Structure 1
Amino acid sequence: MSARFEIPAYDPDLIADVGRMPSAVTNEQQFREWRAEPLPGLDELRPALDELGLVHEEHVVAVPGGKMVLSVVRPRTVAGRLPALYLIHGGGMIAGNRFGSFLPDVLTWIVDHGIVVVSPEYTLAPEQRAPQAAMECYAGLRWVAEHAIDLSIDDDRLVLAGGSGGGGLAASVSLLARDNGGPGLLAQMLLCPQLGDRHDTVSSEQFTLANGAIDPWPSETNRYAWNALLGEGHEDADVSIYASPARADDLSGLPQAFIDVGGNEVFRDADLAYASRLWQGGVNVEVHVWPGGYHSFDFMVPDAPVSIAAKAARTSWLERIFAAAAG
């Protein structure tokens, strides 16, 4: 095996209990079993909302091909218009739901910084192939901007965000907003984003099950997901930048960005290349690569020191950009 495909050491705190890690999905049977697992819902979220003094609202909005539900969570008592996150849930664009966006850290942001969080229930693949989900999420973002006053949102402090597949969709929606005249965005927050479909990076070849990767989303799972999103043979096909934003050559005119990724995950190199092209386009980017971190390590082992550091970096960035925009 070539030395360049050796795997760097994992953070020991992240692999102390690898038995807790979910199994990788590499075939149809595993995918069906994954999809059959129960998803979080409002009933599971409500105790935390009540304890923290937060309220949840649902809005149904028109999107290409039909309608989509948006969940809106905000402080119970609102004074004036608040900064907002339009937060797109993860799951590789093939699984998950909007309630998965409201993790404890996100609820803490709402409470501590007085923000509104909106999460869309977009259509998954393979039921609908890319870029359908991006088009739906973009329609939802436009609706939020058009109804900002009703939602107590300051549309000058609207941040597009997402993790994993949701991070890839956030990048796609940012491109759609640029190319279609808005809405204006303060920033984009891309957390271990799933940006590219071509599997042509070193990290794509490093972090495979065959190479001993310890990861809930190894290269084999990534390939399975992209085949569901775009069909087999997509690597050599003409694919829209709104389906695979890593294919975009021109990233100028996009909002400032935050990108973080684990040093030991398949998305690492595509995410860093995307950051580099943002810089090339004159866009400010804050980038963090967390040594020894696999995909979603901070969710899997939230109390590990590297997880605490990663979450603190995100919080710091949000505080700074919201404060700067508030004047």
Structure 2
Amino acid sequence: MTTRHLVDPELAAILDQIPAPVLTAETLRQIRAMSSRASADLPQFSVLSVSESFIPGPEGAPDVRVLVYLPTSVQGAVPALLWIHGGGYIMGSADAEDLTVKSIVSALGCAAVSVDYRLAPETPYPGPIEDCYAALKWLSTHADELGIDPKRIAVGGSSAGGGLAAALALLTRDCGEVSLAFQFLLAPMLDDRTCALAKPHPYTGEFIWTPEANRFGWTSLLGQEPGGPDVSPYAAAARAEHLEGLPATFLYVGALDLFLEEDLEYARCLMRAGVPTELHVYPGAYHGFRMVADAQVTQVAERDLLAALKRAFDLSFRSNEHPQTSHS
């Protein structure tokens, strides 16, 4: 059975050019080389600067490389997004998502720090999330010198980056060292148990990121078969039993995305935990549909995500300017 007839027509043509990856230990190096390249012929962004830093990593681990994006035409302390790239926990790079981050910084006048975390299977859990937490702490403690408002920090990412962002929000809540204003989850890869469903969704996961790729990614991150007991919520955020106290959340997913049901369930659980949550499902959209930039559904999604992030930064600014006072 194929779900091709359900794909948005504007998203369908590119599928013939992008076969789903056949991920094995042997093919991973080649696929990484292709997926980590920065986009060629990028548009110029004159209103921001980009620099590279190597910051202290987790204890006993190497330094973490980050790309720092700062707006050059905004006065005063600005909000910041800690961005975590996608790639199934096994590929991708900060450089490959340069255009995404520049577009957000340019549109909103915020700052961003993009994390080049270590990849599985060479570095399984907890290495990747520890790298992201190190970057978040660095961003928070260096906020003044970067010109960043430490009370307006969001975490976000797409696919595995969204999964890491969700896990990072949980870890940050539990550690209590950094305050997060928002989490920004674009088709996040949240739940290893999707690999072991007795009745998987019949209309998701045919394109771009398949069940086979998903199993390879999760096995690489966990160092064991996915779906078993005792998986930490800091590895798979959907495993968390208590979501209270998490920051306000934006989450979107395509209706044909393999992650559809795990993302819907996570959003439902967030709402039941009293977390302000904005959820979008885009019909006819498969995983990674944003690569078809001129499709109407992509443009709608871009407007939605930018509007949500701007609103979150504005709301957190106003609440910091006019904190609520308690009345006894």
Q: TM-score, normalised by structure 2?
A: 0.89
CA distance in 1, matches of 2:82, 2:24: 32
Distance in structure 2 (CA, Å) of the matches to 1:254 and 1:25: 36
Residues 207, 219 of structure 1: 8 Å contact kept: no
CA distance in 2, matches of 1:277, 1:106: 28
Any gaps of 5 or more consecutive residues in structure 1?
none
Decide whether the 8 Å contact of 1:7 with 1:264 is kept in 2: no
In 2, the alpha carbon distance for the partners of 1:149 and 1:6 equals 50
**SS state of the match for residue 27, structure 2?**
helix
Alpha carbons of structure 1 residues 201 and 246: separation in structure 2 relative to 1, 3 Å: same
Corresponding position of 1:306: 297
Q: Tell me how far apart the structure 2 counterparts of residues 218 and 38 of structure 1 sit (CA, whole Å).
A: 16
How many angstroms does 1:99 deviate by?
1.5
1:150 to 126, 131, 145: 145
The answer on 1:11 being equivalent to 2:8 is: yes
Kindly provide the amino acid, as one letter, of the partner of residue 117 in structure 2.
Y
User: How far apart are the structure 2 equivalents of 1:95 and 1:246?
Assistant: 22
State the Cα distance separating 1:269 from its structure 2 match.
Answer: 0.4
The answer to whether the 8 A contact 2:35-2:92 is kept is no
Residue 149 to residue 228, structure 1, CA distance change in 2 (3 Å): same
Deviates more, 1:276-285 or 1:15-24: 15-24
Structure 1 segment 57-206 matched on structure 2, within 5 A: 57-64=51-58, 65-103=61-99, 105-199=100-194, 200=196, 204-206=200-202
Q: Distance in 2 between matches of 1:30 and 1:113?
A: 38
Relative to 1, partners in 2 of residues 1:324 and 1:21: Cα closer, same or farther, differing over 3 Å?
A: same
278, 291, 299: which one aligns with 2:283: 291
- 2: CA distance, partners of 1:315 / 1:96: 23
Q: State the shift of 1:76 in Å.
A: 2.7
AA aligned opposite 1:164: S
Name the residue aligned to 2:323.
none
Q: Provide structure 2 residue ranges, at least 5 long, that are not aligned to the other structure.
A: 319-328
- Aligned 8 A contact 1:162 1:193 in 2: yes
Q: Identity of counterpart residues, as a percentage?
A: 37
CA distance 1:21–1:207, shift in 2 (3 Å): farther
RMSD: 2.3
Q: What residue identity is the alignment partner of 2:212?
A: E
- Per the TM alignment, residue 109 of structure 1 is displaced from its structure 2 partner at its CA by 2.7
Report the residue type matching 1:314 in the other structure.
L
Q: Which residue of the partner structure matches residue 229 of structure 1?
A: 221
**Equivalent residue in structure 1 for 2:269, among 259, 274, 277:** 277
Give, in angstroms, the shift of residue 90 of structure 1: 0.6
The size of the alignment, in residue pairs, is: 315
CA distance in structure 2 between the partners assigned to 1:202 and 1:268 by the alignment: 16
Shift of 1:62: 1.4
Tell me, what secondary structure is at the counterpart of 1:74? strand
| Cα distance in 2 between the residues matched to 1:208 and 1:312 | 24
Superposition TM-score, scaled by structure 1 size: 0.89
**Given the alignment, which residue of 4, 21, 24 partners 1:24?**
21
2: CA distance, partners of 1:52 / 1:268? 37
Q: Which amino acid aligns with 1:118?
A: V
| 1:294 aligned counterpart, secondary structure | coil
- Runs of at least 4 residues off by over 6 Å: 5-8
The structure-2 alpha-carbon separation of the partners of 1:129 and 1:204, relative to structure 1 and needing over 3 Å to count, comes to farther
Matched-pair contact (CA < 8 Å) for 1:87–1:101:
no
Q: Name the SS of the counterpart of 2:315 in structure 1.
A: helix
Q: Distance between the aligned counterparts of 2:64 and 2:203, measured in 1?
A: 35
Q: Is the contact made by 1:83 and 1:115 (CA closer than 8 Å) also made in structure 2?
A: yes
Separation in structure 2 between the aligned mates of residue 203 and residue 303 of structure 1, nearest angstrom: 35
Q: Is the 8 A contact 2:124 2:222 kept in 1?
A: yes
C-alpha distance after superposition, 1:238-277 (max 9, x if no partner):
1111011111111111000000001001100001111111
Whole-Å separation in 2 of the counterparts to 1:293 and 1:277: 23
